[in-house]
């Protein structure tokens, strides 16, 4: 992989992740019907073709950082604060602070340094760490959320520094996931890290989604759901049918669970094709944990197709800036963040020859 090609795909993955998260954040927890009705009230297409122009609660603060009005079309001046974006940058900080061979204990130390608070499984683990519970037990004490989506929204950065190398990407994602998750929660992080890493090299989302199954147990619930979803790749129809199919298959499953949201992420990629804007718009339209699914689907598509397949309207409004609610700097330069990811990717590439399997041939990837 040529360096310029990697840079285009890295920027595509970052900005598509940021755009998907920003599009979904104002309506996180809404149903498809509620979103569709609100879009009709505003007179905009649904699934959306641009950011929301309004929201019922514009002055409510998200993550105590900025009002929802800053997530709307015409008001966007940077990537707004969000945990999906914060954790993506945190993976960068973890590797920079603890080295390429960071441990789960090191992940916990970086969490204590950077995280002011968290949600669900992450909040439980953070609280346990603060209370002196050992790192290897932080995910297991009073944690009913260990199979929810949190770990797989943290995995992207490990794929971004391992383009074409899903083996190392999944290993790093698992070391991170173990601080807060178990079972399908960890498998979700492994799966999407593998898919994104592979997508850099394959440029074929469907093939990368299939290959990602090799990195999780074949008999786990997540693998079963993903195989079912991938089998429907050409016949899912539209976002309404996709959401219905998932709800019928997983009745009563929490809307923040790893498994149902992973299936919706795959459906969004099927419906959007190589138009990354359509990918993230369909992910949001299917609801559930829609800022997370849109962010992950955007990252997969961006890594496969590059920034060229994302309309500039989705990212030029960010002005090379990304907000943060973490301790320390409250705003970062996107260019600087991407350059730091690139530096780590080059270190990894220099340390080992990267091979990946493409169809029946083995192809070398280097930066």
First to last CA, the chain: 6
Coil, helix or strand at residue 360 = coil
CA 187 to CA 265: how far, in whole Å? 15
Using alpha carbons, select from 261, 255, 299, 259 the residue that is nearest to residue 280: 299
270-285 pLDDT per residue, tens: 999 999 999 999 999 9
CA 16 to CA 296: how far, in whole Å? 9
208-230 pLDDT per residue, tens: 999 999 999 999 999 999 999 99
- Do the domain assignments include residue 307? yes
- Do the domain assignments include residue 118? no
pLDDT score recorded for residue 144:
98
- Do the domain assignments include residue 176? yes
CB 190 within 8 A of CB 178: no
Q: What is the CATH number of the domain that holds 91?
A: 1.10.4080.10
The model's pTM:
0.95
Q: Which residues is 322 bridged to in the sheet?
A: 79, 332
CA 315 to each of CA 121, 210, 341: distance values in angstroms, whole numbers, following the listed order: 30, 29, 19
CB 367 within 8 A of CB 6: yes
CA 256 to CA 145: how far, in whole Å? 9
CA 165 to CA 129: how far, in whole Å? 31
- Do the domain assignments include residue 112? no
CB 108 within 8 A of CB 118: no
- Do the domain assignments include residue 119? no
| Region of 252 on the Ramachandran plot (φ > 0 left; ψ -120 to 50 alpha; else beta) | left
Number of domains, the chain: 1
- Do the domain assignments include residue 206? yes
Give the Cβ contact number of residue 323 at 10 Å: 23
- Do the domain assignments include residue 98? yes
55-109 pLDDT per residue, tens: 999 999 998 889 999 999 999 999 999 999 999 999 999 999 999 999 999 999 9
Give the range of the structural domain holding residue 97, as residue numbers without chain letter. 3-107+147-353
- Do the domain assignments include residue 254? yes
């Amino acid at each position: 992989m040529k360096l310029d090609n990697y840079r285009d795909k890295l920027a595509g993955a970052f900005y598509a992740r940021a755009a998907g998260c920003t599009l979904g954040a104002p309506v996180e927890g809404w149903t498809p019907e509620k979103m569709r009705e609100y879009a009709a009230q505003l007179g905009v297409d649904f699934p959306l073709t641009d950011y929301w122009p309004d929201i019922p609660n514009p002055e409510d603060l998200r993550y105590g950082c900025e009002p929802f009005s800053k997530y709307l079309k015409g008001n966007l001046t940077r990537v707004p604060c969000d945990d999906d974006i914060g954790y993506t940058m945190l993976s960068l900080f973890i590797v920079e602070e603890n080295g390429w061979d960071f441990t789960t204990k090191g992940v916990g130390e970086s969490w204590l340094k950077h995280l002011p608070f968290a949600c669900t499984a992450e909040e439980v683990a953070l609280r346990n760490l603060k209370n002196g519970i050992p790192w290897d037990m932080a995910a297991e004490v009073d944690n009913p959320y260990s199979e929810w989506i949190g770990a797989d929204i943290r995995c992207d950065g490990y794929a971004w520094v391992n383009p074409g190398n899903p083996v190392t990407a999944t290993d790093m994602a698992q070391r991170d996931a173990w601080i807060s998750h178990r079972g399908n929660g960890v498998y979700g992080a492994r799966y999407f890290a593998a898919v994104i890493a592979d997508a850099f090299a394959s440029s074929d989302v469907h093939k990368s989604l299939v290959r990602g199954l090799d990195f999780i147990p074949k008999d786990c619930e997540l693998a079963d759901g993903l195989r079912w979803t991938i089998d429907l790749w050409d016949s899912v129809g539209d976002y309404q049918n996709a959401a219905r199919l998932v709800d019928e298959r997983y009745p009563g499953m929490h809307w923040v669970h790893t498994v149902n949201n992973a299936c919706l992420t795959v459906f969004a990629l099927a419906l959007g094709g190589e138009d990354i804007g359509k990918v993230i718009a369909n992910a949001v339209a299917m609801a559930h944990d829609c800022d997370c699914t849109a962010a992950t689907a955007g990252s997969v598509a961006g890594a496969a197709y590059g920034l060229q397949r994302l309309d500039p309207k989705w990212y030029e409004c960010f002005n090379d800036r990304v907000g943060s609610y973490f301790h320390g700097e409250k705003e970062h330069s996107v260019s600087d963040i991407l350059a730091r990811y690139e530096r780590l990717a080059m270190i990894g590439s220099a340390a080992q020859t990267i091979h990946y399997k493409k169809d029946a041939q083995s192809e070398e990837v280097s930066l």
